[in-house]
A and B are shown apart, each in its own frame.
Chain A
Amino acid sequence: MNEIRASDAMLTDWREAAGRFERAVGSAVLGQDRAIRLLTIALFARGHVLLEGDVGVGKTTLLRAVARALGGAYERVEGTVDMMPTDLVYHTYLADDGRPRVEPGPVLRQAEDLAIFFFNEINRARPQVHALLLRLMAERSLTAFNREYRFPHLQVFADRNRVEREETFELPAAARDRFLMEIGLEAPRDPAVRRALVFDPRFHDTDALIAAIDGEVLDHAALPGIAAAIQHGIQASPAIETYVVNLWEALVRPSQAGIRLPDIDMDALVQGGASPRGVAFLVRAARVRAWLEGRDWLVPEDIRAIFPEVMAHRVFLEPIYEMRRAAIVPELCRAVFETVPAP
């Protein structure tokens, strides 16, 4: 009884901390409340996040702000065409004495304290680099210098520019599946926010802006523990389990669920994807959302709030529809929620 009460109190404290964290990030990144909420959910669900958006909408600023508010060691690399996996792991150079040296690269430099690994422009890196990330993301471990490194606190944040297609490499399906969320970032629509972003000098100097954020609002070392407590503390009723399974079924086999979209052959729309790992991620993130909303049980709204970001990038369409993916998949997600009965 005492333990439960202590755990309840801890969860309440952490919920307040999460609110402080969101406010801290929101003070630096205007008009991205939804993206900040989703990033907070990803942090407490211990999931990796891929940010996608236009040029200059604040992808990097948002991730830097999150890293600053979270505290912990932080590393960042820029994806390029000539980057190789070893560039991430090792740093090779000629020392002052003229001898070649091999030292830990960006991933290993902070050793096992690494909390956030930020991969900028991930689609510019080659598939070899993506392959290295697979293990880093799935198992949070890496073998280098003849030993195994473990990164218990690691979360990979990546961003991707969706405008350019030249000299870029599409992420393999396996790598995309390992990201908890793909968050699309749009420039804010609110005119007041737009005016502030353009005219307020505070937003022109990104370094100063990030430095102004309260550092270490959350204790990054305690995050895995609290994340596990959340997953155990939030109850899922049989009704919500049925609901999630029905959603999954409707997403993979939309025609059998009675979903019709204009100009699309529903029988030949979804090729695959929506893996069990993806649905497990979905429930994990939904539990965090329920916790952030102050509930200790899941409701369908929790699922719906995070569904597009968690599931959309895991659905693979037939090639004929893949080019129109950006329009079709959100429609499909919306139709799934309009079709599957809630209780």
Chain B
Amino acid sequence: MRRSWLSRLITTPDRVDQPTDSVGASNAGPLSRKERVGVMYASRPGRSTGSGFALLVILLVGASVPAQAQVRALEIRTPRPFGYFLGDLVRAQVDLVVEPGFTVQIPSLPQPGALTYWLDLRDIAVTQAASGDARRIRLDLTYQTFYAALDARALEIPGFTITLVDETDRGATTARAEVPPWSFNISPLREVQPPAREDPRSYLRPDGQVSPRDPRPLLVGAAGSAFLALLALAGLARDRTWWPFGARRSRPFGVAARRIRALARRPDAASAYGEALTALHRAMDSTAGRRVLADDLDAVLARRPAFRREADALARFFAASRQTFFGPGPEAGQRTVSLREVASLAGRLARAERAA
């Protein structure tokens, strides 16, 4: 804002004999680098505090103490010096440019709390950063005023002194920086009050208008998520064999029947016969849940009555298997039950298995 430029002043306490017109500082002939830093910094607040941030720079000239030569510049900025009411927060920024190595001695800062009967310091924050050959220290102060003004008037916020320390191996150097008092204008609340109205409801403001929105993307998203969730649930149920997947039993005889049909088409009948018998054995094993020997057939059939109709054929199958694997050999087994009979028995067992 243009006004902020007009109200800005800048100083360099150790070079008071130099021109101090800051507006012309950037193009007012040879400036020392320290001064240029101060100018640049002073011209930057709009970036850090927003374009609406009114700037107030207060010049501090009282650099009579030699120790204060370490403090090169000190500025106080406030958003605006007027327009405050009872209870408002009054913010201020104090920027110091000091010799490198100096840091704020924290105990020397003002303590948050009541300063006067009408003024509280709510908060104080310190940020320090090196910048070139100088060091920048920024104090963010938040005051709150409780002054119940009856007319517009200026109030002064008291100044304070902070101590800066440079601690090196050879010892500590301290410097003091005086933050001068500054003032702002406060206005009375009284005339701001709304005029009395007959209907108390007329104090109410109308409701905010919400623009109508299209629910379709949300509905589509919800439907899609529900579909994915159901898909995941189905996968989980299949993995855990929950209903309806648990009810589905494996069909070992069906698998065996297919395998034996394939074996029956093979040219080398002798080895195919043994494999066919083994396939039917494995199907019997998985149906019974254990290894079934010939002597166990009755017990298995008692537990699985669906296969009882095939009891005789199964007994002949076991006899043939015994002869093939443990007795005279596959020829004797094939005389008892041929490969085609094994295949048809497996088919009948598979049908009984599906029906069960």
Binding site for B on A (CB under 8 A): 237, 239-240, 295, 297-301, 304, 337-343
Q: Is the CB of A237 within 8 A of B327?
A: yes
Which among A237, A295, A301 is the interface contact of B295 at CB below 8 angstroms?
A301
Residue of B nearest to A303 (CB): B293
B216 within 8 Å of A (CB atoms): no
- From the candidates B285, B324, B326, B328, name the one contacting A300 in the complex (CB within 8 A): B326
B12 contacts partner chain A, Cβ-Cβ < 8 Å: no
Query: Complex formed: what's the CA distance from A326 to B327 in Å?
Result: 35
Whether the Cβ atoms of A301 and B291 lie closer than 8 Å is: no
A304 pairs with B325, CB closer than 8 A: no
Contact of A237 among B291, B293, B294, B325 (CB under 8 A): B325
Pick the interface stretch among B100-108, B175-183, B255-263, B275-283. Answer: B275-283
Q: Please, how many angstroms separate the alpha-carbon atoms of A339 and B286 in the complex?
A: 11
Residue from the set B277, B285, B291 with the largest chain A CB neighbour count within 10 Å: B291
A337 and B326 contact, Cβ closer than 8 Å, known pairs A342-B281, A343-B281: no
11 contacts between A and B (CB under 8 A): A239-B326, A240-B325, A240-B326, A297-B327, A299-B326, A299-B327, A304-B293, A337-B291, A341-B282, A341-B285, A343-B326
Structural contact, A343 and B285, CB atoms closer than 8 A: no
A41 to B102, CA, bound (A): 106
| Complex interface: chain B residues within 8 A of A299 (CB) | 293-294, 322, 326-327
* Residue B190 lies at the interface, judged by CB distance under 8 Å to chain A: no
Pair A343/B290 contact, Cβ less than 8 Å: no
A337–B278 Cα gap in the complex (Å)? Answer: 17
Contacts of B281 in A (CB 8 A): 341-343
Residues of B within 8 A of A298 (CB): 326
Instruction: Please count how many residues in chain B sit with their CB below 8 Å of the partner chain's CB atoms.
Output: 18
Q: Which of B277, B282, B294, B327 has the most C-beta atoms of chain A within 10 angstroms of its own C-beta?
A: B327
Question: Chain A residues with Cβ under 8 A from B334's Cβ?
Answer: none
A-side contacts of B285, CB under 8 Å: 341
Q: Give bound CA distance, A298 to B323, whole Å.
A: 10
Also in contact, A239 and B290, with CB within 8 A (given A301-B295, A341-B281, A341-B285): no
Is there a chain A Cβ closer than 8 Å to B321's Cβ?
Answer: yes
Contacts of A304 in B (CB 8 A): 293
Determine the distance from Cα of A298 to Cα of B325 in the docked complex, in whole angstroms: 10
Query: What's the nearest-Cβ distance from chain B to residue A139, in Å?
Result: 33
Q: Which of B277, B278, B281, B326 has the most CB of A within 10 A?
A: B326
CB distance from A305 to the nearest CB of B (A): 9
Tell me how far the C-beta of B160 lies from the nearest C-beta in chain A, rounded to whole angstroms: 77
Q: Please give me the residue from chain B that is nearest to A302 by CB atom.
A: B326
CB pair B277–A343 under 8 Å, yes or no, is: yes
Are A343 and B278 in contact (CB-based, < 8 A)? Answer: yes
**What distance in Å separates the Cβ of B323 from its nearest Cβ neighbour in chain A?**
9
Contact with A along B297-335 (1 / 0, CB 8 A): 000000000000000000000000110111110000000
With a cutoff of 8 Å between Cβ atoms, the chain B residues found around residue A297 in the complex are 326-328
- Chain A residues whose C-beta falls within 8 Å of the C-beta of B321 in the assembled complex: 343
- In angstroms, Cα B67 to Cα A211, docked, is 133
The 5 closest A-B pairs by CB, nearest first: A338-B290, A239-B325, A343-B325, A297-B327, A237-B326
Give the distance to chain A from B277, nearest Cβ to Cβ, in Å: 7
Closest to B328 in A: A297
Q: Mark B144-183, 1 if CB is under 8 A from A, else 0.
A: 0000000000000000000000000000000000000000
Write the nearest CB–CB distance from A310 to chain B, whole angstroms.
Answer: 17
